[in-house]
Structure 1
Amino acid sequence: MEDAHSHLPHIGLRNLKSAFSAALCAGIYYLIDRNPTFACIGAVYGMGNDMGHSWQQGGNRLIGTIIGGFLGMGLFWCYLLLAPAGESRALLIPLTFVGVVVLICLAQMFRWPTAVQPGSVVLCIILFNTPTDTYVSYALNRMVDTGVGVLMSMLINYLFPRERLVRWIAWWKKRANAMVPGFTPTHDRPD
């Protein structure tokens, strides 16, 4: 028989660490008066169950962003050579085709095929949503911001591994039970 509560959402350790990592990025970026969007996205992508999973998840995002960013800069530069005033936006269609094919090949070459999706996102943002005079700085900033977010999640995962948090939670439950006899948390799943 299935537990009635097994399908209910719960707030687990990974959930809390993801939120903490993204919030730290947002706070730091607001302090330096910079938009935290891509750092927060990198932080959420970079949080895994453990350091290995964080490296895989964050690596997907970071490697994809780097490949897509540099490729997007190169293709946008080609676009500006062919249409200096940016008057022929339709030229971006075949450049997108070429860019996605090259991106997939590069991701395979670097043995990181899961970087294709985040790389494609950055590639398309650069091609279709970046002003012509800021495409290089925009791409470079996205790479740096994503890296900051991924590193923040890896740092949080390193400083607060699941095993340590589970021990702390057990300790706090024991203390709470000592202070309030019969204390039983409604939810014991640590994930």
Structure 2
Amino acid sequence: MQMHHLKFRVGLRTVKTGISVMVLVIIFLVLHRGNPMIACLSAVFSLRNDFETTIQFGESRVLANAIGGTFAMIYSLALMQFHHADWVQVIILPLLMMMVIVVNDGINNNRGIIGASAAFLMISFTIPSDGDYWYAIARVIDTFIGTAVAIIMNIGVHPIKFDEPLKKDVQQLHEHIIEEVEHKSHY
């Protein structure tokens, strides 16, 4: 690996992500809501470069989390019904995981499969031993809160659209700069 190709930068999306996490931590502390992990992850998954894309990802994320949370509630009910027997985790959990994927695919929410799977697994594996399906509902609400904060972070942020000739000029300039840097690095 050549070190001169590494680029470290702090862009606007990175800053908005950090601020989103900070806002969520504050909200959860003020409301005594507990662990903000799921809300923060939801914000990170949903937050994009601009408002429109964040809305699209946010909608997919909310739908995916509702699906993942619903199946986590079913898992929670199965755990309670069978007194937290290990076989529920070994057999029911993987079957429900497959159902999360099938439902998202069936409703054409393919971009939400990873988020739904993550929500399902995070909720399922963090259900307290004395917890019930209300725990899963609370975590789904956490995802809504995280997505809402991500959307708010991008209100008024729209992508800059270049016309094709300018885009081509910028690409050619970029290629020229790369060639110059590579040429100079050989000496």
Q: When the two structures are superposed, what TM-score results if normalisation uses the length of structure 2? A: 0.73
* Runs (5+) with no aligned partner, structure 2: 161-187
Instruction: State the one-letter code of the partner of 1:156.
Output: M
Output the CA distance in 2 between the equivalents of 1:154 and 1:30: 21
Partner of residue 76, structure 1:
76
Match of 1:114 in 2: 111
Aligned to 1:26: 25
1:15 is matched with 14
CA distance in 1, matches of 2:18, 2:149: 11
How far apart are the structure 1 equivalents of 2:137 and 2:25? 19
Q: Could you say if the C-alpha distance between residues 40 and 125 of structure 1 is closer, same or farther in structure 2, counting changes exceeding 3 Å? A: closer
Residue 147 of structure 2 corresponds to residue 150 of structure 1: yes
Cα 1:90–1:42 change in 2 (3 A) is same
Deviations 1:128-182 (A, max 9, x none): 331243231221111111111111111110144456xxxxxxxxxxxxxxxxxxx
Contact 1:92 1:127 in 2 (8 A): no
Q: Percent identity at matched positions? A: 22
Structure 2 distance, partners of 1:47, 1:158, is 11
Mapped pair 1:44 → 2:41:
no
Determine the C-alpha separation between the residues in 2 that align with 1:18 and 1:12: 10
Would the aligned equivalents of 2:20 and 2:149 in 1 still touch at CA under 8 Å? Answer: yes
Work out which of the residue numbers 131, 134, 138 in structure 2 matches 1:137. Answer: 134
Cα RMSD after superposing both structures: 2.1
8 Å contact 1:69–1:126 — kept in the other structure?
yes
Distance 2:39 2:32 in 1: 13
Amino acid at match of 2:97: V
Alignment length, in residue pairs? 156
Specify the code of the residue in structure 2 equivalent to 1:18: T
* 1:33 to 1:79, Cα distance in 2 relative to 1, 3 A: closer
Whether 2:53 is the aligned partner of 1:53: answer yes
State the TM-score, normalized to the length of structure 1. 0.71
State the distance in 2 between where 1:21 and 1:126 align.
21
Q: Residues 26 and 113 of structure 1: is their aligned pair in 2 closer, same or farther, counting only changes over 3 Å?
A: same
CA-CA distance at 1:103 after TM superposition = 0.9
Measure the CA separation in 2 of the matches of 1:40 and 1:28. Answer: 11
- What's the offset of the Cα at 1:60? 3.7
Rounded Cα–Cα distance in structure 2 between residues aligned with 1:100 and 1:37: 21
Q: Check 1:48–1:125 CA distance in 2 against 1; reply closer, same or farther (3 A cut).
A: closer
State the partner residue of 1:187.
Answer: none
